[in-house]
Structure 1
């Protein structure tokens, strides 16, 4: 038993082999010093103890790594935000492997590119976000092979093609040795996890295995987080869609209710105000009605008229034109309220505008029918025909008009294309309105004809926005005595533009001489002018047409040849020569008092009626 070893020595050797402390070089020899073993056996036992100690240390380190790996996996599994998860994943990999730089490149299945998404330990600002084209660099090898790839010297690497942009980023960061492992979710590569050093380093199988195991855990967690994020996004989108659907259904129900209310209004003979009330109640907003003049000045209404749709009108409001064919009847303006004006609400407002147009047309048709009846009444009054006015008082009372209360008549001179609008406006200030001899005639209960003319002129002028001539006269005897007043007022309205008057309200009494002359028409006036100054008119028609203007200037300037010459911008002798010609045509007594008066009137009338 010369080779026997005491139990205490064996226990000491086993302790030395398993101790978690640095090995002393002579520890085994000291334990075997009293055993009398040969030197070669002592050497063999020392080598074996060292081997066992290295193996135990390796397993101990492996256990620690696995514990850290599982701990990191559990921590990562608790994260739900993808960006935070990527940052934490790189941090844990960095702690596990202990390299200078750790980063993760995300793989895009569509472009087949890799993009550096998260880094730790980098110093170059250009490294984050670096894109790796397909087939280039160490990362593409990892993706294509779905396995770990590494190099101890990047510059000397030949197994993967280099790319200038990648090389520049690697050199800027100072990286030398790199290890990349795939993040796999089934057969799909979702990224590459890199560990890199700024010095040459041959990665051991244990380092490669550790990083690969961590990448496998991380890929599962990352894929799960992505799926959860997509699920949450889908759920949120579903909630939004459901909310939108609920709002749409609610809007459709409101629209259906409004359409029902508007249909009832049409059947029951409602008006535009009731339409606005029903629309405002349904859409929970304030609705106002613009008349034709206000609507025509509104830019939003003009756009709506062209498009036929609701148009934004500022401050959250919308406007929609009320039209019938090409005729603008007004507009609806909806102020911002409790509800947003979505497509359904806008379409509802457009339908309301159509209903308003329909009601307006219906009301206009009734008003036109009523106006035709009233126009017939007015025509009968103007005619003075006993048969036509026999029962006119009772017919007028049926329309709410008392003939015996009408005191003034107003004749309006407006362009033909504005007569309808002028008549509609005049009804606001008169009891009976109609058309007669291309004029608008209005009868009022105002005693003072001047006040009556001004009242009718004001409303018509505002409605047309253009000059209006209104001539008023007192009504003396109704129903028999209206013809003369209308003729006199019409004659006065006809002559006022020749006198330079285009926008006024006057009475026939103010222009009585002209009304008297023109009351019976132009035939007698023309005959009078021909009898008095016919030879002069004939001369002007055959020659230069200067005698009548010369006569007018001579008479207007108190029969002064010098003043007349100054007004005509000619020499005095020219005026005298022309007057001599007048004497030859009219006779030497044309300047006698009575004949001169008639001549003065005739020359004035020639200017006003004939235009010479």
Structure 2
């Protein structure tokens, strides 16, 4: 047993068990030698020789034992490195399993490689397949900011050589490296960091180079095969980790994109269902004879936005909240509707008011109005915009249908109104019965009113007057009504205000006549209000509510030629008017009071609150302008008419 144990020890220390007695060593020496071997550290101070010097061994035996111990130290050192490498790889695997942040993972891998390699600086450069550049992504031990932002162009430096060769490359002195192209930016960064010796190993996953892992020292150093192999082995695992991280990131992006696609699909399906429901409800509205209000409310419920429908003059026809009145006089809205008329599509409105989108209601080339969409929760995507456009088409159909019905009704009522106002008694036969058939009581037709508006606004004016009691229509190119009201001025004012509200036009001239006691008197009343309106229009009165009887004398004088009224005024007192306009005087005011006071300067002065001499001086000026004969009876009568006509015109201008 002893011989066998001695033989094994002899094998360990490199001696034969059958050696001479002087070749044996003590147990303490053996234990000390085993401790040296277990540390795996190089024998820098020849500790083996020191231990064996106390033993009775010859020089050859000492050399054999020292060699064997150093071999054991190398084996143990490799085992220690392998243990650190496996530990690092296991740590990488754990971090990969718990991967949440790729940047943090890469930084951790670089720090672990830094600890494993034991160099001054360790860094990882990522390869961009599009630009073929290498960009420093993470560093450990680096201090220069320029180095941490370093970019290496293709085919440049030690990094380019690693990528092209797909194999480890190193240099013990970077400044002396001559077999690769240098770049000033790279050399400057390396000098700023103080790097001298550099080792780079590729990060390869399949056929792709993901980057390069570098280990560098700030002093000259020859990298051993073991160091190259260790960093290469670690780089292989880093490449797996990076590739896996990229695949996981791509998978997450794909999952997110799929989720977004599902969400968009769900929204699209919801929008399509909403659009289908709107279409069904609008179709039902058409079939049951609904109107613009039904369209506005149905569309508003679907879009969760307020909706307003306007006519061709931008007057409100209907709204989703029921407040159908007024005008939409907004430049952004007008511009959007004009663009929609050109494109036929839903057009966004500049966000400066209450509306966000507009679409024109069209029937061929005819503009019937527009739909205005306010702000709300539902986004106006492509489906919603098509829904709004479809609602505009339904609105056009409803409008055309209602216009056709209204046109037929207006035609019948218009013919009836023309017969009522015709001076031809032959057209009055069975008139009362025909009126009752249209649900109009003959006794309600008392006062004739005409409303003078521009031709392009007549259709809108008739629409605004559709709900008026009595009869309404167009007679001799003028909007005409016969209403139950008995006060001419109030009837004219009511018609003027209704047309203004329905058309948005301020220039409305309404003229009414005194009530008729029988149907047969309405023709004469119409002639009176027609002639009066023509005379007032010739005088430039565009907006007023007038009683025709108050202006009967002037109507009688100029009814045959209404345009001559303005010429008459200019001929009689034109010089006075021009004198006042050029100099800011009050000759016309003085002349009006002079006429009203029966040519009495004293009474005129008292009424005006000025001295009599002032009136006399002004009359002298008027005489110099009009001539000496203007105070004679006939010229004075004509001048009085002209003065009153001019006063009439100015009064209406002030009232409007």
Q: Same fold (TM over 0.5)?
A: yes
2:300 equivalent to 1:280: yes
Aligned to 2:160: 140
Judge conservation of contact 1:313–1:319 (CA < 8 Å) in 2. no
**Per-residue deviation at 1:149?**
0.8
2:118 equivalent to 1:98: yes
Q: 1:44 aligns with which of 47, 63, 66?
A: 63
**Per-residue deviation at 1:88?**
1.1
Aligned to 1:156: 176
2:510 equivalent to 1:470: yes
Matches within 5 A, 1:213-292: 213-291=233-311, 292=314
Matches within 5 A, 1:169-248: 169-248=189-268
Q: 1:343 to 1:164 in 2, by over 3 A?
A: same
Q: 2:384 aligns with which of 345, 354, 358?
A: 345
Q: 1:499 to 1:57 in 2, by over 3 A?
A: closer
Matches within 5 A, 1:387-406: 387-406=426-445
SS of 2:214's equivalent in the other structure is strand
Judge conservation of contact 2:336–2:358 (CA < 8 Å) in 1. no
2:25 equivalent to 1:9: yes
Aligned to 1:548: none
Aligned to 1:493: 533
Judge conservation of contact 1:457–1:468 (CA < 8 Å) in 2. yes
Aligned to 2:348: 311
Q: 1:606 to 1:335 in 2, by over 3 A?
A: closer
Judge conservation of contact 1:296–1:302 (CA < 8 Å) in 2. no
Matches within 5 A, 1:583-602: 591=632, 596=633, 600-601=636-637
Aligned to 1:67: 86
Q: Hey, what's the Cα distance between the residues in 2 that align with 1:31 and 1:199?
A: 37
Q: 1:140 to 1:76 in 2, by over 3 A?
A: farther
**Per-residue deviation at 1:558?**
3.9
- Give the TM-score, by structure 1 length: 0.83
Root-mean-square deviation over aligned CA pairs: 3.7
Q: Hey, what's the Cα distance between the residues in 1 that align with 2:635 and 2:523?
A: 31
Q: Hey, what's the Cα distance between the residues in 2 that align with 1:446 and 1:398?
A: 22
| Per-residue CA distance 1:118-165 (angstroms, 9 max, x = gap) | 111111112223110011111001000111111111111112221000
Judge conservation of contact 1:108–1:114 (CA < 8 Å) in 2. yes
**Per-residue deviation at 1:376?**
1.0
Q: Hey, what's the Cα distance between the residues in 2 that align with 1:245 and 1:283?
A: 18
**Per-residue deviation at 1:53?**
4.0
Aligned to 2:131: 111
Q: 1:517 to 1:67 in 2, by over 3 A?
A: closer
Q: Hey, what's the Cα distance between the residues in 2 that align with 1:29 and 1:381?
A: 144
SS of 2:209's equivalent in the other structure is strand
Q: Hey, what's the Cα distance between the residues in 2 that align with 1:69 and 1:249?
A: 52
SS of 2:146's equivalent in the other structure is coil
2:486 equivalent to 1:447: yes
SS of 2:507's equivalent in the other structure is coil
Q: Hey, what's the Cα distance between the residues in 1 that align with 2:293 and 2:413?
A: 26
**Per-residue deviation at 1:269?**
2.1
Q: Hey, what's the Cα distance between the residues in 1 that align with 2:444 and 2:132?
A: 96
| Per-residue CA distance 1:63-88 (angstroms, 9 max, x = gap) | 33333343333334324232122111
Judge conservation of contact 1:491–1:515 (CA < 8 Å) in 2. yes
Aligned to 2:464: 425
Q: 1:262 to 1:167 in 2, by over 3 A?
A: same
SS of 2:126's equivalent in the other structure is strand
Q: Hey, what's the Cα distance between the residues in 2 that align with 1:465 and 1:515?
A: 26
**Per-residue deviation at 1:448?**
1.4
SS of 2:426's equivalent in the other structure is coil
**Per-residue deviation at 1:317?**
4.3
Aligned to 1:547: none
Q: Hey, what's the Cα distance between the residues in 2 that align with 1:316 and 1:169?
A: 59
Judge conservation of contact 2:282–2:391 (CA < 8 Å) in 1. yes
**Per-residue deviation at 1:361?**
1.9
Q: 1:288 to 1:470 in 2, by over 3 A?
A: closer
Q: Hey, what's the Cα distance between the residues in 2 that align with 1:144 and 1:342?
A: 51
Q: Hey, what's the Cα distance between the residues in 2 that align with 1:45 and 1:339?
A: 90
SS of 1:480's equivalent in the other structure is helix
| Per-residue CA distance 1:223-259 (angstroms, 9 max, x = gap) | 0111111011111111111221121122112212222
Q: Hey, what's the Cα distance between the residues in 2 that align with 1:62 and 1:297?
A: 81
What is the count of residue pairs matched by the alignment?
570
SS of 2:145's equivalent in the other structure is coil
SS of 1:9's equivalent in the other structure is coil
Matches within 5 A, 1:347-362: 347-362=386-401
2:34 equivalent to 1:18: yes
Of residues 268-277 and 200-209 in structure 1, the stretch that sits farther from structure 2 once superposed is 268-277
Judge conservation of contact 2:52–2:62 (CA < 8 Å) in 1. no
Judge conservation of contact 2:85–2:234 (CA < 8 Å) in 1. no
Q: 1:30 to 1:335 in 2, by over 3 A?
A: closer
Aligned to 1:540: none
Q: 2:141 aligns with which of 117, 121, 124?
A: 121
Please list every run of 5 or more consecutive structure 2 residues that lacks an aligned counterpart in the other structure.
1-16, 316-326, 573-590, 602-613, 647-656
Of residues 313-322 and 462-471 in structure 1, the stretch that sits farther from structure 2 once superposed is 313-322
